[in-house]
Amino acid sequence: MQVKVTVKEPEELKRHIYQGGESISGFSRRIGVSVPYMSNVVSGKMNPSPTTAKKIADGLGVKLTSIFLV
């Protein structure tokens, strides 16, 4: 069974990153996700894999379910 993860609100995800004082590219590099991939996730063009969603949530210091629908 494949788990589908979707960003609840792309703008809210972007706001979380910026509130942490980082750019999307800086955040991407810090958590080990490519910048183009992260840009697509933040813009809502792509859904992250469960592993990447966990990296994003951990990098932001929030629960996965606070920013993603699983």
How confident is the model at residue 2, as a pLDDT?
A: 80
Q: What topology does CATH give the domain 6-69? A: 434 Repressor (Amino-terminal Domain) (1.10.260)
Per the prediction, the chain carries an average pLDDT of 94
Is the predicted pLDDT of residue 1 greater than 70, yes or no?
no
Intra-chain end-to-end CA distance of the chain, in Å? 13
Spatial contact of 8 and 70, defined as CB atoms under 8 Å apart: no
63 phi and psi angles, rounded to 5 deg: -70, 140
Token pair, residue 1, equals: 């069974």
Surface-to-core class of residue 57, CB atoms within 10 Å of its CB (0-12 exposed, 13-18 middle, 19+ buried): buried
Q: pTM above the 0.95 mark?
A: no
